[in-house]
Amino acid sequence: MTKDVYWHNNHISRQQRQERNKHKSFVLWFTGLSGSGKSTLANAVEKELFDSGHNVTVLDGDNVRHGLCSDLGFTEEDRNENMRRIGEVAKLFVESGTIVLAAFVSPYRTDREKVRSRLPHGEFYEVYCQCDLDVCEDRDPKGLYAKARKGEIPNFTGISAPYEEPIKPDMVVNTNNLSIGEEVKLIIDNLQKKNLVTQGNHE
């Protein structure tokens, strides 16, 4: 801890914020290969929750690297730091009473578990967007796999850098075959079963 820096307690607790919002605050951490549909799913879930009256926001891997993490590359060390920063930002949002949908490749289990450990029990849920590598490559929405195969992008997850699948994810969404509507329903149904969100317009 930095010397001469002290923690300042807020007058308003996260519990009070959650009571006013009429729902719990937590992190849904979407992990998976590039092209597995993490951001698409996170944004669709955000709209569903927002439309039903929840305070919710998306933290997206590419967007964050335009600002907060613009100084980081894609080495293992830089990825570790990227996840540390995002974890701290997500924690601040949760403390403010907001549901956080974090969409990041986040290839290393230890990084994802470090984020989980920074939040109280029951405020971090790992969502594995399970999608075969060949399907992700066929989609290749940003043309990244093609560049990685040519050696133009070093340290690319799934090609020249590893991806460590979750061992016991809280939710698994097979994005190989499901439609986005089916994926959203799966997530919302899980959240309702866990009493994390209120009954909205999703039936």
Q: Which residues are catalytically annotated?
A: 106
Q: Tell how many helices (H) and how many strands (E) occur in the chain.
A: 8, 5
C-alpha span between 162 and 159 (Å, rounded): 7
38 is in an annotated binding site: yes
Instruction: Check whether 33 is labelled as a binding-site residue.
Output: yes
Do the beta carbons of residue 103 and residue 42 sit within 8 Å?
yes
Q: Is 179 annotated as a binding residue?
A: no
Pairing of strands 171-174, 56-60: unpaired
d(CA 190, CA 30): 14
Residue 96 annotated as lining a ligand binding site: no
Residue 32, annotated ligand binder? Answer: yes
CB atoms under 10 Å from CB of 132, counted, come to 13
Task: Please state whether 32 falls in left (phi above 0), alpha (psi between -120 and 50) or beta.
Answer: left
Instruction: Kindly state the tokens that stand for 47.
Output: 């709209």
Question: Is residue 97 annotated as involved in ligand binding?
Answer: no
- The tokens for 119 are 């939040």
Q: Do the annotations mark residue 160 as ligand-binding?
A: no
178 is in an annotated binding site: no
Please report, in range form, the residues annotated as the binding site for ATP. Answer: 32-39
- Binding-site residue positions: 32-39
